[in-house]
Amino acid sequence: MPAIERLSIVVPVYNEEENLPLLHQAIRSAMDVLPWPWEVIFVNDGSQDGSGKVLETLAFTDPVHVRVVDLRRNFGQTAAIAAGIDHATGDVIVLMDADLQNDPADIPMMLEKIQEGYDVVSGWRVHRQDAYLTRTLPSRIANELISWVTGVRLHDYGCTLKAYRREVLTGFKLYGEMHRFIPVYAHGVGARIVEVPVCHHPRRFGKAKYGLERTLKVILDLFTVKFLNSYANKPIYLFGGTGAVLIAISALLLVYLFVRRVFFGIGVLSSPFFQMATMIGILGFQSILMGLIAELLVRTYHESQGKPTYTVRRVIRNGEEERISINSH
Ligand code: UDP
Ligand code: MG
């Protein structure tokens, strides 16, 4: 396994002025004992408090390590994380929150796992310090659901503190609230994933930006993720499969009506079952047609961008190992 060469820590920031100096200190103390060069990329996501000024000061007092990406307005945590990843130069990228709820002291232990050969090290807030009814409980249910639907069993999708090999982060774009699904995408491209318990502290300064409403968004995102992960290359299997089932149901109904007509003389056209059979049958054909359109879209996607339908971890050539970035295909 290739060693770590450089580490990037990506931190989205939205109104966290009191937390930032402490966080910077904590990251420094955790990183300074490590042998690798490192940087921390603070992405200021349109903060309205003094975060921008504080970040500027940090960037000038610790120019070797601190990078600041200033977004023009508030785009949301996921977009901020994506901006940070785009500016990161490390071959290992750690994501974490700015609010001191995640602890940088956990990072060295996570990097050990990366060195063991894992591509994704997922933090798990075993003792989570958030409101139980509005945050911890819904999140536990969401985690169960995501694990079950995607087949990627993790206890804590919502924990931002996770470490990634660069190449599993660069092949796709992040939309909506989707940063929590990065491990699922990574799994889809064949990443090795491990889960480690991490510390979690209560928020001391500033406010939490989310409440219960986020759970709904997460569940909607889950549909997209499941579809993209399981059927992005073969949508006709999903649509066509659904269509086939519907047409079969419709055919069974028609057979039933026909038998009734022959043996009991009950009229077919006047029966509500006939209308049902027609509707279900039409839906079935529509579904298959949608599948065909989706197949066209898939071809456009892969062929217009030269994207292959597989991902390569590494190539060994002339006795030398080359790691392949997922979007460099
Ligand atoms: N955040 C952001 N943009 C936003 C909302 C939040 O960059 O629009 C950042 C925020 O500053 C923090 C992280 O995302 O670093 C997580 O936010 P928060 O702590 O409010 O979420 P929670 O930990 O409660 O899930
Ligand atoms: Mg938080």
- Same domain as 87, residue 20: yes
If you take atom 24 of ligand 1, which residue's CA is the nearest one? 208
Q: How many domains does the chain have?
A: 2
- Which range (138-142, 159-163, 176-180) has the least confidence? 176-180
Higher pLDDT, 48 or 132: 48
**What's the pLDDT at 304?**
85
% of the chain residues with pLDDT over 70: 98
Whether 252 has a pLDDT exceeding 70, the answer reads: yes
Q: Decide if 315 is inside a domain.
A: no
Distance from the CA of 73 to the center of ligand 2, in angstroms?
A: 20
Q: For the residues 258-264, what does the mean pLDDT come to?
A: 94
Band of pLDDT at residue 322, cut at 50, 70 and 90: confident
Q: Decide if 189 is inside a domain.
A: yes
- Which range (51-60, 75-84, 295-304) has the least confidence? 295-304
**What's the pLDDT at 325?**
67
Q: Which of 203, 231, 259 is the last residue of a domain?
A: 231
- Same domain as 190, residue 250: no
- Same domain as 259, residue 137: no
Cα–Cα–Cα angle for 235, 237, 240, nearest 5°?
100
Q: Which of 186, 208, 231 is the last residue of a domain?
A: 231
Residue pLDDT, tens place only, 13-55 = 999 999 999 999 999 999 999 999 999 999 999 999 999 999 9
**What's the pLDDT at 18?**
96
**What's the pLDDT at 323?**
72
Mean confidence (pLDDT) of the chain: 91
- Same domain as 155, residue 132: yes
What range defines the domain where residue 65 resides?
A: 7-231
- Same domain as 128, residue 42: yes
Q: Decide if 168 is inside a domain.
A: yes
- Same domain as 224, residue 184: yes
Band of pLDDT at residue 327, cut at 50, 70 and 90: low
Q: For the residues 136-151, what does the mean pLDDT come to?
A: 92
**What's the pLDDT at 289?**
97
Q: Which of 231, 253, 277 is the last residue of a domain?
A: 231
Q: For the residues 281-303, what does the mean pLDDT come to?
A: 93
Q: Decide if 211 is inside a domain.
A: yes
- Same domain as 272, residue 154: no
- Same domain as 186, residue 292: no
- Residue 12's CATH number: 3.90.550.10
Band of pLDDT at residue 329, cut at 50, 70 and 90: very low
**What's the pLDDT at 108?**
96
% of the chain residues with pLDDT over 90: 71
Residue pLDDT, tens place only, 191-204 = 999 999 999 999 99
List Cβ neighbours of 192 (8 Å cut-off, separation of 6 or more): 117, 118, 119, 120
- Same domain as 290, residue 203: no
Q: Decide if 326 is inside a domain.
A: no
Pocket test for ligand 1, best of 13, 14, 94, 160 (most atoms within 8 A of CB): 14
Q: Decide if 253 is inside a domain.
A: yes
- Same domain as 273, residue 129: no
Whether 213 has a pLDDT exceeding 50, the answer reads: yes
- Same domain as 257, residue 210: no
Instruction: Ligand 1, residue 16: give the atom nearest the CA.
Output: 11
Q: Decide if 314 is inside a domain.
A: no
**What's the pLDDT at 326?**
62
- Same domain as 186, residue 240: no
Cβ < 5 A residues, ion ligand 2: 97, 99, 101
**What's the pLDDT at 328?**
46
**What's the pLDDT at 2?**
65
